[in-house]
Amino acid sequence: MELNDANLQSLTEVLRKTLDPDPNARRPAEKFLESVEGNQNYSLLLLTLLEKSQDNVIRVCAAVMFKNYIKRNWRIVEDEPNKISEADRTAIKANIVNLMLSSPEQIQKQLSDAISIIGREDFPQKWPDLLTEMVTRFRSGDFHIINGVLRTAHSLFKRYRHEFKSNELWSEIKLVLDTFAQPLTELFKATIELCQTHATDVNVLKVLFSSLTLISKLFYSLNFQDLPEFFEDNMETWMTNFHGLLTLDNKLLQTDDEEEAGLLELLKSQICDNAALYAQKYDEEFQPYLPRFVTAIWNLLVSTGQEVKYDLLVSNAIQFLASVCERPHYKNLFEDQSTLTSICEKVIVPNMEFRSADEEAFEDNSEEYIRRDLEGSDIDTRRRAACDLVRCLCKFFEGPVTAIFSGYVNSMLGEYAKSPKENWKHKDAAIYLVTSLASKAQTQKHGITQANEMVNLIEFFVNHILPDLKSSNVNEFPVLKADAIKYVMIFRSQLPKEHLLQAVPLLITHLQAESTVQHTYAAHALERLFTMKGPSNLTLISSAEMAPYIEQLLTNLFKALTLPGSAENEYIMKAIMRSFSLLQETIVPYIPTLIGQLTHKLLLVSKNPSKPHFNHYLFESLCLSVRITCKANPTTVSSFEEALFPVFTEILQNDVQEFLPYVFQVMSLLLEIHSNSIPSSYMALFPHLLQPVLWERTGNIPPLVRLLQAYLEKGGASIAASAADKIPGLLGVFQKLIASKANDHQGFYLLNSIIENMPPESIGQYRKQIYILLFQRLQSSKTTKFIKSFLVFINLYCVKYGAIALQEIFDSIQPKMFGMVLEKIIIPEVQKVSGTIEKKICAVGITKILTECPAMMDTEYTKLWTPLLQALIGLFELPEDDSIPDDEHFIDIEDTPGYQTAFSQLAFAGKKEHDPIGDAVGNPKILLAQSLHKLSTACPGRVPSMLSTSLNAEALQFLQGYLQAATVQLV
């Protein structure tokens, strides 16, 4: 693509169409951009547009497109095409910093993100001058430019907060500190001076305070891994100024907005974070400054209002107190009873209250409320912070804190009892307090795993939780009902089974509640209860115990999906999946009705897939329906195909990328249920599965390979007869997969199925070429994973076609090749093979080479006979060799960047392990003994003499054991 006006004009038109709400106009434009993004200069055309276009909407659109393009394509992945040419990469890095700094803020943010994505890959080795280029801009004095640099530096360095320690990371941080720490400190001091100079100019202050917030964030990132010497030497400068900013109250920066945090709140929140980091990790060096920070932050907490805009500030301030009070040597600051009472009364209780803002979220923004409350993403909520503070205080002061709060809990419950309608929020706070007091340790899988013994959870459940669950009006006091359900859910491991069984029918009733939060919690609680394990690792609640409630459970779950706001509720769908899994064959009578509802739902969501978890559980539920029903009666598979195929066809025709991997998995499951033939509806689809475009997307590869394996397994012969022209296409897929380090094992899965299931004559002409491709790959990049797969394949080939065929095909490629493969690959590497079936295949294959290949007895290959036998006995008796060379780290498929759907394995579409040898060989050791006996009978005296001269004593002893077990001897 040339950089010219015509191309800029046509790109502008296409970008405009991508903003069209009509999918018929939008989709072709998106497809077009997808098709040209590999062209040289594409990225530079986008940069030119975002710099020079007269239309602001197009500029922003080009900036977003550019960032997403960089996100998808900048990382160079081995075996994947590099979509950005070197010339483009160099041009982008040469221009992007300048462009970012001179762009308006909306575009600046997008380009800043793009720089950090490039920096993550290229900085510092391939982009050494990035930092110096940025630091020189601090001197410009223009805070639009300075903030652009700070924003970019923040997105570049924030990964230091969660990276694992490594020498590479240390050296990068050291390089950054050497270049950046001093100028950053100078900028910090200069900005604070400017704040004093311009203390009355609100517009200047806004810019300066956003700079200070970014500087504070950078301070956090640069200090996170370890305390750098530079910051230790300059701690006085930083901490004195941080303390000053914490206590500053500039009336000009106070906002009227009650929701949105202002600049002052954001800056103080970050400073609380920085202080907490130092208190936690560098307490010795921070000791001199700690008391004044505790005082400043305490005053801040006591004087800050309940408005939403202060939430982040208050929660960070509380987190600071929490991090201080759990350190043993700060214990003395909190020991005094009056201090504890004061913290409980002035900080914890007020921040546990259910505010009108929470009530609004509960009613009008239930998704966000659930995300914060259930999934623990409420890191920045006051309640979560107050809860953490209670937990930390209980570490040293469990007795006094429990006593103080018990008084509060009783008085709150008393207030509620007086007038439930007016005072329901008191009970809500009481439940929250009890929960935070009782929870010592918690996991996603088991809920609370360790509880405060001074809190009687069962008594509280019976007296205060059960009455709410039993209430005849499910829609009264929805917040308290949701609290009660959540209590059951999080204390499920602490409550006795009889109470949980008592709760199950009540929870089923709550699925009908109008409140989204309430019926979602009910679904989630049931799903969690159904996964609990009882004695002997069975589910705690059995299918039999659920029998009286099955109909009600299924009816209410499916009805809940029709309630407003829950059409794609992932918690409900997960509960449906878990119910199917628990109830098993007891749901069979209901499946004909339910499958219709599930396929209808699938058709609706396939139009615009937006909830990945919901979609995943929907497909899992479909798989379970198929599995459970067909287990009882395999012939019902055709009725599932009738229900599902119309929807699947639509998904395939519309190329709904997110759903293709799922569809292929469900189709595999259905096809595997058929007895040995392929229905015509599947055969019609077979050619389409070989289309290269499907194999371009990494997420499709595992399920497509499995589907092709199912085709081969059920009808290798019929493919050879009626679709022989498709065999080259099938082998083309194998060739593509084998070339990739990430997917070569999938190529072998396919190849093994071809060898095992296709009639020998149908692939005779291709066999030699297959081996040539494998040897080429061995030469170009020999990895442990490839070797293991290669060993299994050649031994399977040997089992299927015989040892002579294996020796002949190797030697036809190159004279004496068979000996080289034995000596260089099989003998030294077979110990690396893992997996029972894989080891069995190798053992049977090697036994055949030893005992059914004349060349092993009478040619130059004979010298390899004993080492090969020794390697086989090693495979039986020695531990697996799982060492991997240092230079091999496999690319995980999940790591490959880009917008393609990563492969999501459906647990309930799982494939049974397939043993190609099956019962023909029960114990490979016995087979070896019997085969050696047969060989020694054919040529008496040879085998014992070969053994006695060169097999080591230990191996010989094992072999004697095999011979005895098989009751045979060598002659």
> What pLDDT digit, counting tens, does each position of 562-605 carry?
999 999 999 999 999 999 999 999 999 999 999 999 999 999 99
- How many percent of the chain have pLDDT more than 70? 96
d(CA 497, CA 539): 12
**Is the pLDDT reported for residue 109 higher than 60?**
yes
Backbone φ and ψ for 685, nearest 5 degrees, come out as -85, -20
Largest Cα–Cα distance of the chain, in whole Å? 107
b vs e for 827-837, b when ≥16 Cβ sit within 10 Å of the residue's Cβ? bebbbbbeeee
**Is the pLDDT reported for residue 453 higher than 80?**
no
**Is the pLDDT reported for residue 443 higher than 70?**
no
Over range 737-760, report the average pLDDT.
94
Measuring CA to CA, which residue among 352, 333, 360, 447 is closest to residue 390?
352
Torsion from C-alpha of 331, 337, 342, 347, nearest 10 degrees: 50
Q: Which residue has the tokens 């960070």?
A: 316
What pLDDT is recorded for position 442?
Answer: 67
Q: Are 193 and 204 in contact (CB under 8 A)?
A: no
What pLDDT is recorded for position 83?
Answer: 83
**Is the pLDDT reported for residue 902 higher than 90?**
no
What pLDDT is recorded for position 890?
Answer: 39
Q: Are 510 and 474 in contact (CB under 8 A)?
A: yes
Q: State the Rg of the chain over Cα.
A: 34
β-bridge partners, 443: 447
Q: Which residue has the tokens 């061995």?
A: 778
Mean predicted lDDT score pLDDT of the chain:
91
Q: Which of 138-147, 410-419, 501-510 has the lowest mean pLDDT?
A: 138-147
What pLDDT is recorded for position 376?
Answer: 66
What pLDDT is recorded for position 910?
Answer: 82
Give tens-digit pLDDT for 922-968. 899 999 999 999 999 998 989 998 888 888 999 999 999 999 999 99
Over range 680-704, report the average pLDDT.
92
What pLDDT is recorded for position 257?
Answer: 84
**Is the pLDDT reported for residue 889 higher than 50?**
no
Over range 418-441, report the average pLDDT.
91
What pLDDT is recorded for position 485?
Answer: 98
Measuring CA to CA, which residue among 556, 555, 552, 503 is closest to residue 532?
503
**Is the pLDDT reported for residue 745 higher than 70?**
yes
Torsion sign across C-alpha atoms 284, 289, 291, 293: negative
**Is the pLDDT reported for residue 883 higher than 80?**
no
Determine how many CB atoms are found less than 10 A away from the CB of residue 418: 10
What pLDDT is recorded for position 858?
Answer: 84
Give tens-digit pLDDT for 814-843. 999 999 999 999 999 999 999 999 999 999
- How many percent of the chain have pLDDT more than 90? 76
Q: Which DSSP string do the residues of 915-929 spell out, in sequence order? A: -SSGGG-S-HHHHHH
pLDDT higher at 384 or 586: 586
Determine how many CB atoms are found less than 10 A away from the CB of residue 475: 13
Parallel/antiparallel/unpaired status of strands 439-443 and 447-451: antiparallel
What pLDDT is recorded for position 446?
Answer: 67
Quote the strand ranges of 405-555, DSSP E: 439-443, 447-451
Q: Are 331 and 340 in contact (CB under 8 A)?
A: no
Instruction: Fill in the amino acid letter for 815.
Output: P
d(CA 671, CA 667): 6
Q: Which of 67-81, 340-354, 433-447 has the lowest mean pLDDT?
A: 433-447
**Is the pLDDT reported for residue 374 higher than 90?**
no
What pLDDT is recorded for position 354?
Answer: 92
Torsion sign across C-alpha atoms 326, 330, 332, 334: negative
Q: Return the ∠ at Cα 166 (arms to 165 and 170), rounded to 5°.
A: 90
What pLDDT is recorded for position 261?
Answer: 87
What pLDDT is recorded for position 909?
Answer: 87
**Is the pLDDT reported for residue 37 higher than 60?**
yes
Measuring CA to CA, which residue among 520, 507, 506 is closest to residue 362?
520
Over range 127-140, report the average pLDDT.
91
d(CA 216, CA 269): 10
d(CA 488, CA 260): 34
What 3-state class would DSSP assign to 448? Answer: strand
What pLDDT is recorded for position 717?
Answer: 92
What pLDDT is recorded for position 256?
Answer: 79
d(CA 334, CA 341): 10
Q: Return the ∠ at Cα 88 (arms to 85 and 89), rounded to 5°.
A: 85
Over range 768-785, report the average pLDDT.
93
Over range 177-206, report the average pLDDT.
94
**Residue 246: burial class (beta carbons within 10 Å; 0-12, 13-18, 19+):** buried
Q: Are 386 and 380 in contact (CB under 8 A)?
A: no
What pLDDT is recorded for position 781?
Answer: 85
Q: Are 571 and 523 in contact (CB under 8 A)?
A: yes
What pLDDT is recorded for position 899?
Answer: 32
